[in-house]
Amino acid sequence: MRLLAALAVIVVGASCGDDPAPEIPTTLAPITSTSTTRLATTTLPPPETTLAETTTTSTTLISLAEESMNYLEVLLAVEVNIGKLVADVQALNENWDNRSESGVSYGETDAGMEAAAQRAQELRDAFEGIQPSSQGNIPLEHQTAAAAVVLMADTAAEMLDGLRSTDTGQSRRSALVGFLTAYEIFGEAVTRVAEIIGDEAIAALESSRTANTVPTIREGTTTTTEPATTTTAAPATDTDPENPGNTKNCSDFATQAEAQEWFDTYFPLYGDVALMDTNNNGIACELLP
């Protein structure tokens, strides 16, 4: 009874007071009853978080496009550096294969290929730190480009080893083919990345390749085997030495003069049977002292 009397006093006091009616709060008090919760749900306007979520989604899309373009710019910078390396490697191999005309020495070629192998390794190391954009299939294309850069570094080292070997150039030329193939794979991956991003990226790609001359694989560099000699051997007589066959390597001789003497003994009769004259200029084992 005392509780009811107290409530009556409160109600009468609230209705008879002179104070103006309180303003409706702009925020709702915490809802505790199930029935009130249902009413609030049906009468309140959509929450403001919907607009915030929409704004966040738009911002994410814009950031992704910018991220993709930034990634493409990095790829294009790498492609320029790789292109310069490819041009140098092709020149080194061409000059060495035609050294009787170019006049290049073994020391110059060895130093050049060693520097090229070092540059290829540095590009490989730098590429490992590049993070691709997450747009579309760009991460997959990035993996392809990364594998191509690794292959270029490996084959550049193999070219140097081939130059220093005692074979007739097959291993060096085979490594060159792998090197140029990896270069093509990298370029194709960059093209696909631009296509995924869109027109702006394609325009940037074309502009970069126009401003920076992209080397092309020159005709003849894909040959992996040594061309067969066309020398016709003279028929041997009873007094001529027997055909020794491919039983000698340049490493079997201490000096170039010794190799040349052996070469001159058999070449007029049987041709370059030991493959000691790799560029067909009549000089055997030019790398020997």
Which tens digit of pLDDT belongs to each residue from 128-176?
Answer: 999 999 999 999 999 999 999 999 999 999 999 999 998 888 899 999 9
- Asked if residue 282 has pLDDT above 50, the reply is yes
Q: Can you read off the two tokens belonging to residue 201?
A: 């990226």
Which carries the bigger pLDDT value, residue 94 or residue 267?
94
On the 0-12 / 13-18 / 19+ scale of CB atoms within 10 A, 219 is: exposed
The alpha-carbon radius of gyration of the chain (Å, integer) is 39
- How close are the terminal C-alpha atoms of the chain, in Å? 124
Asked whether the beta carbons of 187 and 79 are under 8 A apart, the reply is yes
Percent helix / strand / coil, the chain, rounded to 5: 65, 0, 35
Residue found by looking up tokens 């030329």 in the block: 173
Asked whether the beta carbons of 106 and 286 are under 8 A apart, the reply is yes
Which carries the bigger pLDDT value, residue 45 or residue 67?
67
126 CB contacts (<8 Å, ≥6 apart)? 78
Asked whether the beta carbons of 183 and 82 are under 8 A apart, the reply is yes
Q: What is the mean pLDDT of the chain?
A: 76
Question: In the predicted model, what is the mean pLDDT of residues 88-94?
Answer: 94
Q: Can you read off the two tokens belonging to residue 140?
A: 């997959």
Per-residue confidence (pLDDT) for residue 220, from 0 to 100 = 46
Per-residue confidence (pLDDT) for residue 227, from 0 to 100 = 36
Q: How confident is the model at residue 31 (pLDDT cuts 50, 70, 90)?
A: very low
262 CB contacts (<8 Å, ≥6 apart)? 248, 253, 274, 276, 284
Cα-based torsion angle of the residue sequence 236, 237, 238, 241 in order, rounded to the nearest 10 degrees: -40
pTM over 0.75: no
Q: How confident is the model at residue 89 (pLDDT cuts 50, 70, 90)?
A: very high
- Asked if residue 8 has pLDDT above 80, the reply is no
Percentage of residues in the chain with pLDDT exceeding 90? 47
Instruction: Mean pLDDT check: name the lowest of 6-10, 84-88, 118-122.
Output: 6-10
- Asked if residue 53 has pLDDT above 70, the reply is no
- Asked if residue 127 has pLDDT above 90, the reply is yes
Summarised one tens digit per residue, pLDDT across range 213-255 is 667 655 444 433 333 333 334 444 556 788 887 788 887 888 8
218 CB contacts (<8 Å, ≥6 apart)? 90, 94
